[in-house]
Structure 1
């Protein structure tokens, strides 16, 4: 808008642009972030994670991303313990896949998965969720099978 327009029209135009931007972000599946903590032998490690809860969100995952923050990640919730099979198709960065049981215990970690691969990465048993972290994070931060993940999705048993 031109500076000569009355203030109320400028304000109205700004409000409409803001609403259009919010609608576009929602349609694009804009991420919301939550905290997740892993209790390791070296102490707690906190991540800012995105949630993949719906089949469409889980199918897309971290595809087409070219970077992932060192403290970022994505948590895939499958709702119940079940065998899980993942792949790296259309995923451009190596990832650590942390397979987590419903009680929050880490069952297995697949480290530095191969970008763009269609090879199946298995949970090795029933799990509730998979946490994807930047490749090499688990080893660098001392995250191992048996560590406890704290997040609202996991209940102590």
Structure 2
């Protein structure tokens, strides 16, 4: 009888733990969804992008995100121009990556970066960039984004870490 009682408590604790974990994930997803978004116009497309301007949220990027709508993206804002690398750690879908200089002109493009490229591949531009945009794969083609295309968006870069 005692062994069944112990098993019962184990099951109860496991179920409660799983429910707590699911609740935490929902809260995190809601927090990310409600984070500040701005419109970015580039090529023939307009995207609603979440701003990532701290080391912590830039490191996380889209990791663990289930999907993006075809008009969503992320805007990485860096403290200065450099050859900022992007990885596909914990990614669940392919993306297009666009590097922009301080004038918001496209200096490098990667189409269809695959989740399984991590950890072997880091995507690094050939020129320095201040901003990086991540979109669902196919966005570069769909929006006709090309080298030297100019993006239009407003973002406060003061205090970016």
Give TM-score scaled by structure 1 length. 0.74
Q: Distance in 2 between matches of 1:154 and 1:59?
A: 20
Higher helix content, 1 or 2: 2
Residue number in structure 2 paired with 1:107: 107
The 8 Å contact of residues 101 and 127 in structure 1, kept in 2 or not, is answered as yes
Label 1:128 to 1:102 Cα distance change in 2 as closer, same or farther (>3 A): same
2:123 to 98, 121, 124: 121
The offset of 1:45, in angstroms, is 2.0
Query: Cα RMSD (Å) of the superposition?
Result: 2.2
**Match in the other structure for 2:41:** 37
Secondary structure at 1:81 match in 2:
strand
Counterpart of 2:7? Answer: none
Equivalenced residue count is 128
Q: Secondary structure at the match of 1:133?
A: strand
Runs of 4+ in 1 over 2 A off after TM superposition: 27-30
SS at match of 1:147: coil
1:67 maps to what in 2? 67
- Answering whether residue 45 of structure 2 is matched by residue 48 of structure 1, we say no
The aligned residue for residue 140 of structure 1 is 142
Q: Is the 8 A contact 1:104 1:154 kept in 2?
A: no
Q: Which runs of 5+ in 1 are unaligned?
A: 1-23
Q: Distance in 1 between matches of 2:84 and 2:131?
A: 8
Q: 1:36 & 1:137 partners in 2: Cα distance?
A: 13
**C-alpha deviations, 1:28-67, integer Å up to 9, x for none?**
55422111111x3xxx421100000100110111111121
Unmatched tracts of structure 2, length 5 or more: 1-26
C-alpha distance in structure 2 between counterparts of 1:55 and 1:105, whole Å = 23
Q: Distance in 2 between matches of 1:70 and 1:114?
A: 17
- Kindly indicate which of the two structures has a greater share of residues assigned to strand: 1
| SS across alignment from 1:74 | strand
